[in-house]
Structure formats: C-alpha cells, structure tokens
A = this chain, B = another copy of it.
Amino acid sequence: MNARMWFFNGGTEGQFKISKMTAVTGESLPPATHLHVTQEGVVPSVAAFTLKGVVSNERYTTRSEKIDLVNRQVAIGREQARWGAFIALKKSEAWWALTQDERRAIFEDRSKHIHLGLAALPQVARRLHHCRDLGEDSPFDFLTWFDFESKDAATFEDLLSALRATEEWEYVEREVDIRVERATPAW
C-alpha cells in the first residue's frame, strides 16, 4: 500500500459524527452517520462508502507561496479542532485537457486558490489527497480534509464560498460536502 494513502470510510462507526452531507454539484454519496479516517484501509463493518486518495507533491504552488503557507499553516488533527469538513471533488475533462500554464493561470492568477487558502490560515488546517491517478477508477479527483474550531466556522465558510465563486470551480462537475464533529474528545 502507498504510505501516502488515506481512506475515508462512511458508515455507522468512526471517529467523526456526520452532521450534514450536501451534494453541491452532481450526485451525492450513500447516507452515513459517521466518517472513519484512517490509513489502515477499508473498514468493512462500517463502510457505506469508501473513498481513498494519496498525499502527493504540489502541482501549482511556487516556492514563495510555499514559504507563506508553511509559515502559517498548522497540521490537521489539533486537539481543539473538533469540527471537520470532507470535500470530494471531480473536475471535468475540459480541466484535465488544459496545459499546465493554463491550469495555473485559472487556479491562482485568476481564481486565487492559494491566496484564499492562506487567508484562512492558521485557523483552518487542510490535507489534500489525489485520486485521479490511482490504479482503479475513482468517482472523484480530489479529497480534501479540513479541521477547525467551532469559533472559526465562519472563516471556513468564507473560504468555501469564495472558492466556489471562482473560475476554477466552473470546472467542478461533482462536489460532495460532508461536515463532521469529532465523536470523542480524544482520538
């Protein structure tokens, strides 16, 4: 198994209680009450759905942007960050047919994806997983896992609203938004 792989199992058990699942664009996922986030693989007893992806190298970030990010970001899993969001995205074939310079121009020059994310740091922690180049077909291209404290929920909502209004998001053809709360204080 790829050591950078993470599994998101939706079902009736897990460290996170699902508070809301929204099909923002396209089809939803099967109903689930809990989300189990693990590197151990599929947990069959709890899996109404399993999504997986690998943490990979950056595709658009420059060194100067990376320095800004590293200076401000925090790792996911802070004890006090009991609210989470799991956003699964699929982009269109039109997006993937663009060349690197065209995607970068949309992603950052015009949509300010990195700068919008920076504005939510350090309150909102984030880990991005790629699914498009897994060996098996995946219903999504990206899985992003966020956490934050309840007092920072508005910062997260502002980030999401801003991203969804960008030119980049015109290429999103499926988006499922799952909100969670950590079921137990320690995990």
The interface of chain A, by Cβ under 8 A from chain B, is 1-3, 5, 52, 54, 56-63, 65-66, 96-102, 104, 130, 132-138
Contacts and interface: CB of A to CB of B under 8 A. Distances in A.
A104 B103 CA distance: 14
How many copies, total? 2
Nearest to A1: B136
A100 B58 contact: yes
Contacts of A99: 58, 61-63, 65-66
A135 B54 contact: yes
Contacts of A101: 62-63
A136 B135 contact: yes
Nearest to A135: B134
Closest 4 CB pairs of A and B: A133-B133, A62-B101, A63-B99, A57-B96
A63 B99 CA distance: 6
Contacts of A104: 100
A137 to B, nearest CB: 5
20 contacts: A1-B135, A1-B136, A1-B137, A2-B133, A2-B136, A2-B137, A3-B137, A52-B135, A54-B135, A56-B132, A56-B133, A57-B96, A63-B99, A63-B101, A63-B102, A65-B99, A134-B134, A134-B135, A135-B135, A135-B136
Contact of A2 (B54, B56, B135): B135
A134 B52 CA distance: 11
